[in-house]
């Protein structure tokens, strides 16, 4: 059912659930998983580019996810890329298109979203912009 | 509202209103159920329009019983995805009330809720229907929004 799956992670509390959903779906359909982490960076006048996390932190999260999936027998690839704050959703959707994945899997609320939100801004945008199924995990 | 559980206890709820998008959601739910050994509850909601007999309300249905119309729609939708070789149990369920709320109630203890991106009520230009949007915001279980053909 899914030859390819795209999983977007961002250190949020639901990442474990997101990965377990990806693992289950990929195992059942013998699919291949791309774990994508976008480092959102803010451009500030004078201060320049502000990173919210180090490259190592981002890479460590993706590596851990890839390792977890690989241990479960799922072929997984990790991708860490920089983007500008607010552009993550667009890039997730573009990656999903270029990889031609069967489903996008992501958490309902990311690290950057307000605690009271029931659906984070990135998930919200991805659902609106995507041209393929989106699984929102909470 | 919730139907019987499949043998492994997993249950997927699909929101159906007869629109192409909702039928894509139902097909997706059935494929997913096949993968996971789940059962599917195909749920349709209906409520009498605020002004029965005025405007489209009476005109569209000819005064028919709205519940019966909903039951007919869901039965046809379930038949359209039925596969004699398929082991998946698909139950047609009709609920009275606001569509989003009926789906949220039906999926309260489900493993997954699957909805289309736009039903009958959406403006052609709307990127995501209001029911789908409400479900992604408030469902207790993971939600799949079927964009494109599913």
Convert the pLDDT of each residue in A48-105 to its tens digit.
767 677 888 889 999 999 999 999 999 999 999 998 888 999 999 999 999 999 999 9
Rounded to two decimals, the pTM is 0.83
SS (H, E, C) A58-105: HHHHHHHHHHHHHHCCCCEEEEEEEEECCCHHHHHHHHHHHHCCCEEE
Q: Which of B31, B141, B148 sits opposite A131 (nearest CB)?
A: B148
How far B112 CA lies from chain A's nearest CA (Å)? 9
B36 at the A interface (CB within 8 A)?
Answer: yes
C-alpha–C-alpha distance, residues B139 and B5, integer Å: 19
Q: Coil, strand, or helix at residue B59?
A: helix
Please give chain B's pLDDT, 150 residues, in tens.
Answer: 444 445 578 999 999 998 888 999 999 999 999 988 999 999 999 987 765 555 555 545 454 588 899 999 999 999 998 777 778 999 999 999 999 999 999 999 999 999 998 765 555 545 567 888 889 989 999 999 998 665
Contact list in A for residue B150 (CB cut-off 8 A) is 133
* Other CB atoms within 10 A of residue A77 CB: 14
Taking an 8 Å cut-off on Cβ atoms, the answer to whether B146 and A133 are in contact is yes
3-class state of residue A33 by DSSP: strand
Tokens representing A123? 């998930």
Distance from CA of B33 to the nearest CA of A (A): 11
Q: Which among A1, A118, A134 has the least Cβ separation from residue B31?
A: A1
Q: Tell which residue, B93, B105, B41, B101, has the closest CA to residue B67.
A: B93
Residue whose entry in the numeric block shows the structure tokens 């977890």: A68
Compare all CA atoms of chain A with the CA of B138 and give the residue at the minimum distance. Answer: A118
Which residue is associated with the tokens 């774990």? A35
CB A125 within 8 A of CB A136: no
Distance from CA of A43 to the nearest CA of B (A): 29
Q: State the CATH architecture for B11-146.
A: 3-Layer(aba) Sandwich (3.40)
Distance, CA of B10 to CA of A50 (rounded, Å): 45
Residue with tokens 């998983």: A33
Nearest CA in chain B to A24: B36
> How far B18 CA sits from the closest chain A CA (Å)?
19
CA dist B146 and B23 (Å) reads 10
Asked if the C-beta of B91 comes within 8 angstroms of chain A's C-beta atoms, the answer is no
Which one of A104, A136, A137, A138 makes the best mutation probe of the B interface by having the most chain B beta carbons within 10 Å? A136
Q: Residue A10's pLDDT band (boundaries 50, 70, 90)?
A: confident
Domain ranges for chain B, please list them.
11-146
Q: Contact B145/A118, CB-based, under 8 Å?
A: no
Facing A119 at nearest CB: one of B35, B136, B142: B136
Fold of A4-137: Rossmann fold (3.40.50)
Tens of pLDDT, residues A106-128: 998 776 666 656 678 889 899 98
Nearest-by-CA chain B residue for A120: B137
Nearest to B142 among A118, A127, A137 (CB): A137
Nearest to B35 among A21, A28, A138 (CB): A28
């Amino acid at each position: 059912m899914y030859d390819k799956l795209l999983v977007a992670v961002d250190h949020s509390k639901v990442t474990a659930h997101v990965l377990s959903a990806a693992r289950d779906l990929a195992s059942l359909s013998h699919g291949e998983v791309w774990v994508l982490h976008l480092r959102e960076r803010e451009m500030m006048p004078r201060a320049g580019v502000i990173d919210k996390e180090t490259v190592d932190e981002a890479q460590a999260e993706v590596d851990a996810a890839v390792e977890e999936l690989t241990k479960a027998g799922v072929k997984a690839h990790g991708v860490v890329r920089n983007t500008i704050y607010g552009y993550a959703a667009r890039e997730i959707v573009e990656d999903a298109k270029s990889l031609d994945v069967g489903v996008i899997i992501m958490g309902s609320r990311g690290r950057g979203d307000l605690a009271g939100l029931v659906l984070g801004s990135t998930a919200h945008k991805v659902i609106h912009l995507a041209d393929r199924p989106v699984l929102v995990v909470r | 509202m919730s139907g019987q559980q499949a043998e492994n206890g997993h249950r997927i709820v699909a929101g159906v209103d007869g629109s192409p998008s909702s039928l894509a959601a139902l097909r997706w739910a059935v494929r997913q159920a096949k993968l996971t050994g789940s059962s599917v509850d195909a749920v349709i909601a209906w409520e009498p329009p605020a002004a029965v007999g005025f405007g489209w309300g009476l005109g569209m249905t000819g005064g028919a019983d709205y519940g019966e119309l909903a039951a007919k729609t869901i039965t046809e939708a379930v038949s359209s995805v039925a596969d004699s070789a398929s082991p998946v149990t698909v139950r047609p369920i009709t609920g009275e009330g606001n569509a989003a709320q009926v789906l949220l109630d039906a999926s309260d203890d489900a493993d997954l809720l699957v909805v289309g991106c736009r039903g009958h009520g959406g403006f052609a230009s709307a990127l995501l229907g209001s029911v789908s949007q409400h479900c992604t915001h408030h469902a207790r279980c993971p939600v799949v929004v079927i964009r494109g053909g599913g």
